[in-house]
Structure 1
């Protein structure tokens, strides 16, 4: 079965709770909140508000920056969300890429290897904390001593973990340990600290999936694969709609339309593309932005039919 979720952020209470209700009523799987301290709303406060007006909708961060989030605080937030939502919390983690977020907490952004080591350590610590274990970690990238959730337990036996990444080491780790691998298609962070080069060509996607497969060797069931969709446009002229993005990213229009990171075309073409991504890549989950809710709602039941 194919699953669609929505990533959004609140600007006011009324529109946020209305969005949560609409997303749930339309049949989306989850409402996900970005996590950029200082640049947007707190994901867990936002998701707790959404939990109060929904009953079945999954709720998660997408994704929390493991570079600036401490395991005990993150585990407390996730467990609390799981309690107040009745067991609907999700945890999304990533290594982080925005230098300003490190500087805001008094750190300088490490190199890629350092960010990856910290991300893995945070993921393992948070999972252990949510499982009720006491955690001590003392490595250059992370320190935590006798951390434990003493009076708080999540409702779920295991809060689902999504690792959002395009890094080879994290893809292998996610293949071995995560419930969902969030394929971002991100390459090198650009000088503005926010934007990225795109790794959207077929050979690049195949290389990413090879790391996931290698990591998943020996698992009874591999993790689900999820694509973060950057553009959804319902149109009768897919090539014209795709051309500006393709030019900006240095791709041909055909290359762009073939990636799982955009859904552009008529409703029928988008349904066909989703089925193609499921067959070719094994991608069964898609995360879209708030502006995609209205155009996708009329065809969501067609998009989520299993191949």
Structure 2
């Protein structure tokens, strides 16, 4: 079974709530909101609004920047969303990559190792806070003293955690602790602070999955694998549609179409690609952007039935 969710962000009330209704009615698993403070909407406010007009749709951040989010505030947001949605909250976390987000809170973006250490510490702190534990952390990357959710607890026994990353250390941590590993395929952050090189070649994907598997060794059940899909195009000419992206990423068209980070082709070809991603990589979950909703909705039941 393949599971599809939608990542989006609101620009107006009617459009956002309308999208939430459409996503739920079409059979998508969740509506996910990106989290870039100062560059877009607050995910948890937006998701609470979506909760008010839906009844079964999962709702989560994708992903919150652990570098600039404090655990007690993040845990409070997640628990509140879970309460107002009747137990439908998800939490997506990542180490963050946009320098402007650190400068906006009065800091410079740390190096990769420090961002990873903070991300792990934040993930563990939020997990414990949502479980009702008191949390004290005192490391160079994070300080929290006697933090606790005293009057607010999630409806769910465990809020599902997705770690979105391509970093080897975080992939291993996610393999050991997360419910879902969000494979971003991101490489080096480019000069604009938003765009990335990509790690989409077969050997690069295999290396990422090896880190997840190493972390998951000893778990009763490994985490689900989820791909962040950058382009969905339903077309009769997959090669022509893929050519500009292949040129931009430095991949051959055939190699691009073989990655789980794009879904390009006819409905039959996309269904076959999803089945192949499950067989080859073990990827069973996909996050697509809002512009893919209308394209995929007509054959979403076929995608969900992929074995």
The CA deviation string for residues 101-127 of structure 1, in whole angstroms up to 9 with x for no partner, is: 000001110000000000000000000
Whether the 8 Å contact between 2:187 and 2:197 is mirrored in structure 1 is yes
What is the correspondence of 1:186-197 to structure 2 with a 5 Å cutoff?
186-197=186-197
**Secondary structure class of the residue paired with 2:146:** strand
**Secondary structure class of the residue paired with 1:154:** coil
**Secondary structure class of the residue paired with 2:81:** helix
Q: TM-score, normalised by structure 1?
A: 1.00
Displacement over 6 Å in runs of 4+: none
The CA deviation string for residues 111-150 of structure 1, in whole angstroms up to 9 with x for no partner, is: 0000000000000000000000000000000000000000
In the TM superposition, what is the alpha-carbon distance from 1:306 to its structure 2 partner? 3.9
The CA deviation string for residues 79-105 of structure 1, in whole angstroms up to 9 with x for no partner, is: 000000000000000000000000000
What is the correspondence of 1:117-196 to structure 2 with a 5 Å cutoff?
117-196=117-196
What is the correspondence of 1:68-87 to structure 2 with a 5 Å cutoff?
68-87=68-87
**Secondary structure class of the residue paired with 2:24:** helix
**Secondary structure class of the residue paired with 1:87:** coil
The CA deviation string for residues 56-95 of structure 1, in whole angstroms up to 9 with x for no partner, is: 0000000000000000000000000000000000000000
In the TM superposition, what is the alpha-carbon distance from 1:3 to its structure 2 partner? 0.2
- Which stretches in structure 2 are left out of the alignment for 5+ residues? none
CA–CA separation in structure 2 for the residues paired with 1:280 and 1:175: 18
The CA deviation string for residues 14-70 of structure 1, in whole angstroms up to 9 with x for no partner, is: 010000000000000000000000000000000000000000000000000000000
Count of aligned positions: 307
- Which stretches in structure 1 are left out of the alignment for 5+ residues? none
The CA deviation string for residues 235-260 of structure 1, in whole angstroms up to 9 with x for no partner, is: 00000000000001111101110000
In structure 1, the residue matched to 2:220 is: 220
Q: TM-score, normalised by structure 2?
A: 1.00
**Secondary structure class of the residue paired with 2:218:** coil
Whether the 8 Å contact between 2:274 and 2:306 is mirrored in structure 1 is no
Task: Give the CA RMSD over aligned residues.
Answer: 0.4
In structure 1, the residue matched to 2:297 is: 297
In structure 1, the residue matched to 2:106 is: 106
CA–CA separation in structure 2 for the residues paired with 1:166 and 1:265: 26
CA–CA separation in structure 1 for the residues paired with 2:262 and 2:268: 15
